[in-house]
Structure 1
Amino acid sequence: MSETEKVYQELNTTISAAEAQLIAVSKTHPQERIMELYELGHRDFGENRVAELVEKHEALPKDIRWHFIGHLQRNKVKAIAPFVHLIHAVDSERLLREIDKQAKAADRKISVLLQFHIAEEASKYGLDREKAGALITSLKEKPLTHTTISGVMGMATFTDDEAQVTAEFESLAEHFKWIQGTIPGQSPEFREISMGMSGDYPLALAAGSTLVRVGSLLFGQRYT
């Protein structure tokens, strides 16, 4: 058993036991590394650059479920709309409306997560309660037609303070509970909490994460 296979099996066992799903964050890593996990049966991979995601989608097996996990610009939505499985970081109504527009043009439904700002770092993107509430009100007035809001996403502060990270993850779980059932016509699909990465995923699982984004533990350090 290779080191990659060993780490993957251990991670997958731990995450599955918590009734969550592993998203292998393959950004900046070559296609060969993705295929290592693909051959082990893994199908969910995360990318944060549109050009790189499109290139990998075109080159790799079409049953891969691609997750876009980075900050997405509205003018880049069209490029991934025909195939993306889940967009994790929707942080504005304008972006959400553009996704809905491009999903309609691609004749498909796209699932998204609303990103909340839960960290201390101001550099991180995300909604707060007030902006999320205004977004929900707008959706009630003008519902989405080709986009499904499937849950929430957040990134904790990059710190060794586990108590702080846990509190931030718990705050995202509270945002999830608060917003659940308020999005018209989409409550059954609203079930995902995307939080936790290589350095803090055990804390995220304990706080209720359903999608864990792990990169460096699986692939090593980034290439760029």
Structure 2
Amino acid sequence: MGHLEENLDRVRQRIREAALRAGRRPESIRLLAVTKTVPVERIQQVVDAGVDLLGENRVQELLEKYPQVHGPVRWHMIGTLQTNKVKYIYDKVELIHSLDRLSLAQAIDHQASRFGRPIDCLVEVNVAGEETKHGVDRRDAISFIRDVMTLEGIHIRGLMTMAPYAEKPEEARPVFRDLYQLAREVEDLRLPRVDMEHLSMGMSNDFEVAVEEGATIVRIGSGLFGGRS
């Protein structure tokens, strides 16, 4: 067994244990491998080991890697997305995690009309209010979702957040708990084209806490591939 496979087994086991601690089914959590700056050869290794969900931060990298990675994989766009780049990826990704402004929603809606069906998105919420992070302010999230739901080309499938980096993963718990609570508030509104199916939260340093607080997608980069070069 190679180094990547060992990392993958370790991450899967930690997801499983965190899920069981929270009384959840481990299979309800999806492992997304973050491929930013990772060479295609190493991405292919984790795909061959059974990872079927890949996430890219940059449109250019996604376009380069998309035709080169083989297997039953689905790509997600997890990084900040410029409105003029939507046209390059709308037919290549299963889910956009970073819907954070109305101009982007309108650009996605425009491409959806060309695609002939709604495009699935997560609303990115800046729960912690960090100035350096993207995302809709927690206080404005429901208002933003109400605005987006008027666009027939977007299906909101849930929420995404990034917790502030902390040495102790436990410090991220209030952020994840708050996103879960927001999802329940949105769910209770029963808005058209809005489902709270997914909570994309938790990365290599804090994903176990995120799973305990309801994450359905955890985004793992260095935990699989090691530190970026």
The answer to whether the superposition gives a TM-score over 0.5 is yes
**Distance change in 2, residues 1:153/1:95 (3 Å):** same
Q: Aligned residue for 1:212?
A: 218
Instruction: Confirm or deny: 8 A CA contact 2:86 2:108 kept in the other structure.
Output: yes
Q: Deviations over 1:152-202 (max 9, x none)?
A: 000111122444311111111111111114353235x42111100000111
The answer to whether the aligner puts 1:171 opposite 2:181 as a matched pair is: no
Q: Which runs of at least 4 in structure 1 moved beyond 6 Å after TM superposition?
A: none
Partner deviation per Cα, 1:35-55 (whole Å, 9 max, x = no partner): 001111211011100011011
What is the identity, as a one-letter code, of the residue corresponding to 2:225? F
Change (3 A) 1:139 1:221: closer
C-alpha contact 1:15 1:21 (8 A) present in aligned 2: no
- Give the drift of 1:137: 3.2
The residue aligned with 1:150 is 157
CA distance in structure 1 between the aligned counterparts of 2:167 and 2:198, rounded to whole angstroms = 26
Runs of 5+ unmatched residues, structure 1: none
TM-score when normalising by structure 1: 0.90
Partner of 1:3: 3
SS at 1:132's partner residue? Answer: helix
Sort the Cα spacing of 1:182 and 1:191 in 2 relative to 1 into closer, same or farther, 3 A: same
Match of 2:115 among 106, 120, 127: 106
3-state SS in 1 of match to 2:116:
coil
Of 32, 46, 57, the match for 1:48: 57
The unaligned stretches of length 5 or more in structure 2 are 20-25
Q: How far apart are the structure 1 equivalents of 2:190 and 2:109? A: 15
> SS where residue 192 of structure 1 aligns?
strand
Q: Displacement, 1:98?
A: 1.2
Is 1:191 matched with 2:197?
yes
Identity percentage of aligned residues: 37
Aligned length: 220
Partner of 2:134: 125
TM-score, structure 2 normalization: 0.88
| RMSD (Å) for aligned C-alpha atoms | 1.9
